[in-house]
Amino acid sequence: MAEVPVYDYETVLETVSPLAAIERVRDGFVRYASGEWAMPPKVYLAVPPAGDFRAMPATGGGLAILKWVTSFPGNPARGLPVVMGMICVSSAETGEPLALVDVRAVTALRTGAVAVVAAQELGREDAHSVGIVGCGLHGAWAARCLAAAEFGAGVCFDLDPEAAGALAGELGWEAGAREDALACDVVTCVTPGHEPVVHAGDITPGTHFNMLGADGPGKAEAELDALDRCRLFCDEWAQASHGGELTGAVAAGRVTRDDVTELGAVLTGAAEGRTAPDDATLFDSTGLAIQDLALCHAVLESGAKVPTIRL
């Protein structure tokens, strides 16, 4: 029986800065793309009508993690988060449980961090302005990570003007209309994905789009005609084609494997990223367990003093 440290929400956010998260997530993508880290497909456990649980394993750098997390879209209406659960961290060498880590903080940070990695890698070299479409928890953390990486100023849009105003105020950015957000250099969409928020006419040459919101079949933040106008990237094809922004386009036969480049391949130089300043690029982030693993390494290396449990 071991004493297992428990890193809660506040501890994760205190010990891993946005800049550290960005570097860790970039490193995780490189290690996964180069075959050093491994990640089986995530498993879905449907619990209708509430939503589903996902079990997301990954291993690398001596750790093996399992993220156990909900996507319960109706939860905010009853005062609960969409994302709940925990991350179990074990030693890949001995199997011993090493830590329990808060799932909400890690998910928010690693989702924001990949938006920055994609923008740095796929955006125009002179990209600076940021449009945030959807200012909930993950939209806010994407904005914080982009600001930490010296993107901005930005325009925050949300159907709830208070959410947009609060985020804009925190970062010294502006709240604005959807059109104003979409006119920025780096557009980051984090909406529920029930209705497209990016239409074909919104695709300006040179813009980079991060699509973070659609996380399951039937969800999309961009209409199909908008995808036609972009060079397409994703975190992982297997997930993107089955439960991400591109899923509908793949099902409709409008997008195939050859049309989409994985971010890790761009980071390792195995594939081309942006080819010209007036390319419109679009990154489909579905969320990978290797991103969570990357942040768990940072949390465990922090040496933070936390409560333990016997398990």
Long-range contacts of range 250-257, CB-CB < 8 Å, 24 or more positions apart?
Answer: 252/224, 254/224, 254/227, 254/228, 255/227
Of 97 and 165, CB closest to a copy of itself:
97
d(CA 263, CA 208): 13
Q: Which positions are annotated as active-site residues?
A: 67
d(CA 208, CA 282): 6
Of 92 and 183, CB closest to a copy of itself:
92
Kindly state the helix (H) or strand (E) to which residue 114 belongs, with its residue range: helix 103-122
Q: Work out how close the CB of 124 gets to a copy of itself at its nearest, in angstroms, rounded to a whole number.
A: 39
* Whether the Cβ atoms of residue 84 and residue 145 lie closer than 8 Å to each other: no
Instruction: Tell the residue number behind the tokens 């394993």, with chain if given.
Output: 57
Q: Work out how close the CB of 291 gets to a copy of itself at its nearest, in angstroms, rounded to a whole number.
A: 16
Q: Work out how close the CB of 250 gets to a copy of itself at its nearest, in angstroms, rounded to a whole number.
A: 22
Chain residues in the site for a copy of itself (CB under 8 A) = 1, 6, 8-9, 38, 40-41, 43-47, 50-51, 53, 55, 57-59, 64, 66, 68, 70, 72, 75, 78, 80, 84-86, 88, 90, 92-97, 100, 102, 307, 309-311
d(CA 234, CA 59): 21
Q: Work out how close the CB of 47 gets to a copy of itself at its nearest, in angstroms, rounded to a whole number.
A: 4
φ/ψ (deg, to 5) at 174: -115, 150
* Whether the Cβ atoms of residue 240 and residue 246 lie closer than 8 Å to each other: yes
Instruction: Tell the residue number behind the tokens 């390319």, with chain if given.
Output: 279
d(CA 155, CA 65): 36
Q: Work out how close the CB of 145 gets to a copy of itself at its nearest, in angstroms, rounded to a whole number.
A: 23
d(CA 225, CA 227): 5
Of 56 and 147, CB closest to a copy of itself:
56
3-state secondary structure at position 106: helix
Of 87 and 171, CB closest to a copy of itself:
87
Of 53 and 206, CB closest to a copy of itself:
53
Q: Work out how close the CB of 42 gets to a copy of itself at its nearest, in angstroms, rounded to a whole number.
A: 8
3-state secondary structure at position 66: strand
Of 6 and 20, CB closest to a copy of itself:
6
The DSSP string of 266-278 is HHHTSS----STT
Residue 260: which of 38, 143, 244 has the closest Cα? 244
